[in-house]
Chains A and B, each alone.
Chain A
């Protein structure tokens, strides 16, 4: 009898240890560790980038936009400033995001206007990416919002990749993500986004992986909306990592100057 009780206690302790997992400071699972490495590669304290954004509709119509973007993470605060360089009808439009606050500057309006939280879930400048997608791919990373599980190690375009399943820590825009990560460079090669009904809605693929300032970067990304049939291609024209960016850049004053 005593032996049975002792066995039960041991089983309970083992199950408890397994259930407690990382929340109790135990080692990260393999999937979590891989995702942490991805964040380390993709995330930076600051970034200044010029990108060409090509929006492609389901019937092949294209619109090109050039944007300049600054990102910064400091003092526990995430900041992003975006300005449109072209085409002429949107040139001078600017957007500032400081944590959960967002402001938009439209040259025709001549003033900065706060925009509501729902805009953050919406399309980033008419593209197939949301503002949250941009944040995660930019400075914020994925670990803060998702817990990862390693599904398998497989080949993707002749390179060894980790296949992760990411589940949100809190309910949000997506019910889950599936991510294929280059095992050597820790860069995502493909991300599948599933909506709250579990349907595949978007697929991100990365191309032209290159080494910039000692870190791997995808010079080209494509987000394809599986339901609308539209695509957005982002091409990096220039990028600088971890340069000192004055905090005063991330203010509405910069927007009001028409940057």
Chain B
């Protein structure tokens, strides 16, 4: 635990030094959002379902000058207080450094990003937001187009920390178990954005091995080589992303995704992605499609579709978002899964039919 305490103490010290080094009068921006959500899970069409209320409060503080920044967020979910993102920024002529608990979002694709391996996903919501991690990230700008990124993650945060009937051994918090990543990216180079990346760390999901004392869960060492690219061809947006995963004790596996979007003259936006997910013990290919349309400036309609080519399982995800007032938004939608065929089998996504209604007030 020493590295965790040392890291947190260091961040608090850096945050304090950053705060006191801000010029007098540098404005502090307080903000946040309150989310209230209702989810109705249809458990059985004859019997009925289950209604759940989901509330969340996020409070953020942000201060920024041309040479430094400070950002911190506290989240309250169902009476549990937790630290959201909390980091300090240092800006130098060619270098930006961010230290603290943060989201390091990599990749060009939508929702599914094989190269986005630094933050653990929520396995029950594999297409949703990933969790922030403690890290130091340096971006070195070689010029206006090229950027070299280096990241160190001293504390390993898995996506899944337990397995049924198997003890999972968490790696000790030490520099030997720290994770590292490098990325070289070019943006706006002759109409192309692309990057190559390398990650050395551990798998987010535990594997099981036999020991003299019985089966044991462990996190395998992992290297990931990734690439992504995005460009525009006429009115068509195109992207490509892939990664080769090389665990120490298992066979290598790969994930890749290609996608495109196109806007019609009537404002309808069409999005399509094809992706292949291999997790070492399970592989499947998916089609993801969506149709979006803004209805005036207050409403947006979206119908999403997910289809597993191997199992023929599918899901339809319609959603309507409405701006009720400045800063107040309502989202209503459904997650509808087919029955019979093998299901989607997308991570640990719960394939239960749901309708939801949510309100978010930002301040």
Interface residues of chain A, those whose CB is within 8 Å of chain B, are 55, 57-58, 61, 63-64, 86-89, 91, 98, 100-101, 103, 108-119, 121-123, 126-127, 228, 230, 247-248, 251-253, 256-258
Interface 1/0s, chain B 6-42, versus A by CB < 8 A? 0000000000000000000000000101000000000
Q: How far apart sit A75 and B329, CA to CA, in the bound complex (Å)? A: 42
For B363, the chain A residues whose CB sits under 8 A away are: 88
Complex contact A122–B296 (CB within 8 A): no
For A257, the chain B residues whose CB sits under 8 A away are: 64, 69, 89, 91, 96
Cβ distance B45 to chain A, nearest Cβ, rounded Å: 35
Contact of A118 among B139, B262, B294, B325 (CB under 8 A): B262
Cβ distance A104 to chain B, nearest Cβ, rounded Å: 11
Complex contact B237–A116 (CB within 8 A): yes
Whether A111 touches B298, Cβ cut-off 8 Å, given contacts A118-B262, A251-B144, is: no
Interface 1/0s, chain B 241-283, versus A by CB < 8 A? 0000000000000000000011111010100000000000000
Complex contact A118–B69 (CB within 8 A): no
Contact of B362 among A63, A88, A100, A256 (CB under 8 A): A88
Complex contact B263–A116 (CB within 8 A): yes
Complex contact B108–A114 (CB within 8 A): yes
Cβ distance B92 to chain A, nearest Cβ, rounded Å: 12
Contact of A89 among B64, B262, B362 (CB under 8 A): B362
Contact of B147 among A64, A230, A253 (CB under 8 A): A253
For B187, the chain A residues whose CB sits under 8 A away are: 103, 112, 114, 252
Q: Considering the complex of A and B, which 8 residue pairs feature the smallest CB-CB distances, nearest first?
A: A116-B237, A118-B263, A88-B362, A126-B297, A89-B362, A118-B235, A111-B105, A87-B326
Complex contact A63–B297 (CB within 8 A): yes
For A63, the chain B residues whose CB sits under 8 A away are: 297-298, 323, 325-326
Residue of chain B at shortest CB distance from A92: B62
For A88, the chain B residues whose CB sits under 8 A away are: 31, 33, 327, 362-363
Q: How far apart sit A251 and B129, CA to CA, in the bound complex (Å)? A: 26
For B144, the chain A residues whose CB sits under 8 A away are: 247-248, 251, 253
Is B230 interfacial (CB 8 A cutoff)?
yes
Residue of chain A at shortest CB distance from B66: A257
Interface residues of chain B, those whose CB is within 8 Å of chain A, are 31, 33, 64, 69, 89, 91, 96, 103-108, 129, 139, 141, 144, 147, 187-188, 191, 193, 230-232, 234-237, 239, 261-265, 267, 269, 294, 296-298, 323, 325-329, 360, 362-363
Complex contact B297–A230 (CB within 8 A): yes
Residue of chain B at shortest CB distance from A113: B108
Cβ distance A92 to chain B, nearest Cβ, rounded Å: 9
Complex contact B262–A253 (CB within 8 A): no
For B327, the chain A residues whose CB sits under 8 A away are: 87-89
Complex contact B188–A111 (CB within 8 A): no
Cβ distance A61 to chain B, nearest Cβ, rounded Å: 7
Cβ distance A248 to chain B, nearest Cβ, rounded Å: 7
Cβ distance B346 to chain A, nearest Cβ, rounded Å: 20
Q: How far apart sit A58 and B297, CA to CA, in the bound complex (Å)? A: 11
Q: How far apart sit A109 and B107, CA to CA, in the bound complex (Å)? A: 11
Complex contact B236–A61 (CB within 8 A): no
Residue of chain A at shortest CB distance from B107: A111
Cβ distance A259 to chain B, nearest Cβ, rounded Å: 9
Whether A116 touches B298, Cβ cut-off 8 Å, given contacts A101-B188, A101-B191, A257-B96, is: no
Residue of chain A at shortest CB distance from B141: A253
Q: How far apart sit A9 and B181, CA to CA, in the bound complex (Å)? A: 77
Cβ distance B96 to chain A, nearest Cβ, rounded Å: 7
For A251, the chain B residues whose CB sits under 8 A away are: 141, 144
Complex contact B360–A89 (CB within 8 A): yes
Complex contact B362–A57 (CB within 8 A): no
Contact of B296 among A89, A100, A228 (CB under 8 A): A228
Q: How far apart sit A108 and B129, CA to CA, in the bound complex (Å)? A: 9
Q: How far apart sit A87 and B31, CA to CA, in the bound complex (Å)? A: 11
Identify the interface centre among A109, A122, A257: most chain B CB within 10 Å of its CB.
A257
Complex contact B296–A116 (CB within 8 A): no
For A127, the chain B residues whose CB sits under 8 A away are: 297
Given contacts A111-B105, A116-B263, A117-B235, 9 further A-B contacts (CB under 8 A): A87-B327, A88-B31, A111-B107, A114-B232, A114-B237, A121-B235, A121-B263, A252-B188, A258-B64
Q: How far apart sit A171 and B269, CA to CA, in the bound complex (Å)? A: 22
For A64, the chain B residues whose CB sits under 8 A away are: 326
For B89, the chain A residues whose CB sits under 8 A away are: 257
For A57, the chain B residues whose CB sits under 8 A away are: 296-298
For A126, the chain B residues whose CB sits under 8 A away are: 294, 297
Contact of A116 among B106, B235, B297 (CB under 8 A): B235
Q: How far apart sit A118 and B236, CA to CA, in the bound complex (Å)? A: 7
For A116, the chain B residues whose CB sits under 8 A away are: 232, 235-237, 261-263
Residue of chain A at shortest CB distance from B32: A88
Q: How far apart sit A258 and B91, CA to CA, in the bound complex (Å)? A: 12
For A86, the chain B residues whose CB sits under 8 A away are: 326
Whether A100 touches B191, Cβ cut-off 8 Å, given contacts A87-B327, A114-B232, A122-B267, is: yes
Q: How far apart sit A110 and B73, CA to CA, in the bound complex (Å)? A: 15
Q: How far apart sit A115 and B187, CA to CA, in the bound complex (Å)? A: 12
For B193, the chain A residues whose CB sits under 8 A away are: 114
